[in-house]
Structure 1
Amino acid sequence: MTDPPPDPSDASDASGVPVPDLDDLRFQPLVDAAKRALPQRAPEWTDHNVSDPGVTLIEACAERTDQLLYRVHRMTARQRYALLRLMGVTPLPASPARIAVMFARADGTTGRREIPEGTEVRTEGEQPVVLATTAPLTLAEGQSAGVVEAVEQLVPVTEALGTSDGLPGGRFATRHRPWGPGTPVSEPRFGPPLTVRVGDTVWPAVRTFAEAGPDDQIYWWDDASCEVVLGPRVPAEGGSEQHGNVPLEGTGISVEYQVYRGRKGSLPTGTPLTVVSQAGLSATVHSVLAPSEDAEDWRQALERAGLGLAPLRRAVTAADHEQIIGEHVAGLARVRVTALTRPTDSRVPTALTQPPRPAEVLACAVAARDPLRAVHYFDDGGTITPLPLPLGGPGDPDGGDAGDAVPGPVARAKCLDAVIRTGEDNPRLWFYGAECLWDGEGASPQDISSAFPDLPDDFSSQLDEVAVLADPASADAYELFFFKGETFYHRAYTRTDRAFVPQAGSRGVRSLISEAFPGLSPQCQVSPDAVAVIGGVFFFMKGTRTEPALWRREDDPLQVLLVPRFEEDPAEALPEGACDIPADVLQSVVGVVGASRLLGERLRVGKPRYHRFGIAATVRPWSSTAADQERSRRAAEQALRRFFHPTAGGPDGRGWPWGRRVHAGDVFTVLETVPEVRGATDVSLLAGDGDGSVPSVEVSDGGLVLVGDVDIDVDITEG
């Protein structure tokens, strides 16, 4: 296949800056990438010559992939929208926000008060979000507040689309996707409610140009590409025919339509609102019933079309599980399906960072059980030198251990690949070249293949690193990891006196580092300098980098994390047991997951881990009166509890993000937006239920937060 001649519009600009080639994946690199994967994926496949039938299949697949990529990368936006149009798929416009508004008396009256349907409320600012109530609300005598639903109002847009060039078939795209009613009506109009002006004349819309004559001033709305289309000239017997009038060259074309703001119109719970036409009332966002959404792009429309054309009944990805559970199980506010692969605490022990450890190490020895220090071995001018560092911080760990020095055979070989030990008082096992050696007088080197006869041949020499993970259920059980290149081999062993014996029933597994330790950077996924295991977390060292990761076992189940719907006010503290999943809901989820999962897939259903923390803050009120002080304290506490709420918190009001840690800056951000608070002067995060100040609250992968005690101090001093 030959590439087309270069398009002058795609060439480098006048300054000589070349335009990048976005379609740079060709046939031969695809073949080469497939061949490089064969030793790890199919080690028994050794013939990689072009005469091998398997290589012929690889080349055939690479050629087909190359052709598909070539065509996809040259598909224009108009072609994509034409395909959408043929499928009958139309991207959806932005949707409005639907909220519950709390009206409260602000004038001290106590009599009966009627708040009619259609009462408008709005936010502050130059471009306020305007909402209108959808039902009347009555405040009975003595009732101070009430809640009613409100919906966002449309925003009018007047837009100049351009000028006519005097040619048939002109197309003029709008900047936004106009809103159109989706409810059925007896005589639906064609297209959204647009007002198209050509010059000073309003042109109506038609469903088709087929019956239009050359003088008919009409337009057609292309809902897929969001364009106003003028009359085309089409071939006909004996020539061509014009369908629809063509404006004179230079005629201005404008349009008027209405849109919703999309996510710009999102209103988090607690947002203060101004009541437009009702005096003596204040209003706030009580809860979000349906958040606003941006207009769809063509990718989202295709995804939605696929889901509609083929209803999802079998879950292949985590997102499939989440969608199926959300569609078929009631009573849940949030669902998260994840492998839980990120450590709860991503901080790296000081002893593993640089400085003080060397920039590049040959190996790192850390005890598998109750480690106290890390011993880094590095090349010091041809001599392998140990550097012991306490895991708690920099300093001399009591002068180190005389056994930290490398044994004579290792020193003479001037080669060290790995060092492992099961405990601080247990002997070490040294790996160098194709040999290994235990500590102690009289110990003699032995081939790695003899000490570990189950190892594949390519893991019997020149290892990058060996790591050991202790089994907490058994004092002598360990998992050994042999790293080499981009792969590793692991198996369960039992430690005896200066030997590791494979556990009965266990089997060795070869895996890719990138797949078994997701989240690692590309630098650490290949040939790590050292790997230390501390508290079940693997710390990969490569050059100056040290990255934590969790090992994802091949048979680890996916975690199905469920958050129930809360009836309580998100501004109040959650009662004990509010996060528990009702038994009937849990049973429904188990049934749905069991019916939709793939054969052999394992899932564990339950609630996420909630990280409880406390908050202490000092705020300043607008005045020093006792009422204002109490109002400021109460408003600050409610805003904080609402912001960190599992289902109504977070920056978007949809719940605290999964796995996101909490910083003191988050608390400052919340307090700065509370109208009753003049400012915040001091903020502290408290671990657990207030057991001490912490710089941040670490949140596990797939975890959420719960606010415990909130201590708000009101400062009335001037300054």
Structure 2
Amino acid sequence: MPLPTPNLDDRRFQEIVDQAKRLIPHYCPEWTDHNVSDPGVALIELFAWMTDMVLYRMNQVPDKLFTRFMELVGVKLQPPRAARAPVTFYLSAPPEQDLLIPEGTEVATVRTETSPAIVFTTEVDLLVRPPKVLGAFQYFAQGPQENAWIAHDLRRLELPGERLPLFSPEPQPGDAFYVALEHDHSNHVLALVLECEEAGGAGVDPRRPPLEWQVWQGPVSRWVPCELEHDGTGGFNYSGEVILHLPPMQPGAFQGLSAYWLRVRLSEAQAGPGGYKVSPEIQKLRLEARGGTVGARHATTVLDEYLGQSEGTPGQGFKLRFAPVLPRDPQRDTLTVEPPGGPLEAWQEVEDFADSGPEDRHYTLDPLEGTLTLGPALLQPDGSVYRFGQIPPKGSVLRFSRYQYGGGVGGNVPKGALSVLKSSVPYVARVTNRQEAVGGADAQSLEDAKVRLPQFLRTRHRAVTADDYEYLAAQVPGVARACCLAPGAQPGAPGDPRPGEVVLLVLPQVRRREAMPQPEDLALSAELRAAVLNHLADRQVLGSRLEVRAPQLVWVTVDARLRPTDPALAAEVQAWAEAELYRYLNPFTGGPRGQGWPFGRDLHVSELYALLQRHSGVEFVEELHIGLSEPGSSAPPQPAPHRLSLARGALICSSRHRVRVL
């Protein structure tokens, strides 16, 4: 059981008033009117209220001691986390030469009367290059291998009457048209301006052409899909523009040509109805750069802030103008000291002064309060004074070269909210975030730190047990949940980690946790995977090998038929039942405890019956079936047994549910 909290004085306001009234006859017997209307009683109540406040503050002493203990063991309140979002810059015209959108460009939400603008700052430079085509190729998926590739000279399209077929005469799944680009166009908004023969792709549905746009991303990831923003050609059926958002690219060599590759490929849907009967043909092809996408975080940048002058004494403190301060880059975000008549010095930030010597140019920075502290000097047992860090000479000018402040849940803005360009960038017509911002969190509260203290003392900065790995992985911004797979009951079982191997399953954060998740939102990005690996690299056991991957997702669909107690409640019951199913079968909010579906937990049809019977408007559940489906597939769900068994580390996600109330 937890240790009892001492209550130094448990008296309350009314008890103090009653005690004072009982002492009146002893000290002032002539005072006989003890009603609340008496001025003396009013004074007693006033002083009793003041005494109650003093007792309340005195009873907070154990909390203060607890806080001091947490400081002694190294527990610090976590500063706020900054939300991140990819921001897309659209240009006013295709550039004729390379266009740089520098790091630190600020974009913001629209300022209103009730809410200030939320500012995001780009984290890296974005270089938009005009595309230059080196070559084009057709690839036939079927037929002799020696005739699978056909090279084309796109300059022939400038001649009148020339046409270029994109696929084989009888298009088959896997046929593709390749374009070789000279430069890296990672994260570019690329437009393909096409002139096509009217209704050239006979038989295809212009609204759903069986096309896949992809770029080459190296021998590991191979071909990855592009995001299609707009297809004005209807699948090459008429002239127009195709606007793509390209992911990161890697150079590759095909047909002896080393370049950056973009291709359009016929998907497996080509084999079904609505596929091309003949290959579409193009008469003109021009590639244009329309913009680019770069990562940004909820932060405002401050450059070269003046802090003050040194007094030449140890333990000096300075305060930054803005707080809370976000994590710093040790190469750029640092304290600079300019001694009188001396060169500029760059000082190093440390967590504490325990290892600092008299000549070390060290300082600490409290990110929550923005307080910068220089090293102290302490008296030693032999009478000498030891300095924990160097002291700037008197009169030295102190500045902070660069820092960023911001963060918090307010930065988790929806997509399209970042639409104001605060920095002046030429040729930029508009800006937007095409995805919602995620990862923002407020500063840690004291109560939360108290709850997490035992786990902190157990794990500290090491990862030994499975709980250690899960706890430390959850500290990485952008991680919602983590599961460390431990060896099973039978050593060497399929999927179990091998000796010396640690398998960590990571579920990324999403903005809308209660809604039906989308597969792309639950995908583990390369950036988040690298962040988890870097965070655990110095904390894991020496000699162990860590593998970070996404959990296996099992997409479940429920088909239920309910009988309402009153036909007038049918619409209400249906909406409630669908919302409950999406909430319960959810990796973030689902499961019996509402903390996310437990990793590897089976699903039984009986718990869904019990779930849908909770509403008073449901008389009984007439029928309920569980099915398994693939995201984005038009095929009907596959029937699942009454008890759906999950593999270790697998998670249940809601697919499209169907609830009928009759």
Tell whether the structures are fold-level matches, with TM greater than 0.5: no
What's the TM-score once normalised by structure 1's chain length? 0.31
What's the TM-score once normalised by structure 2's chain length? 0.33
Indicate the structure whose relative CO is greater, using CA pairs within 8 Å and at least 6 residues apart. Answer: 2
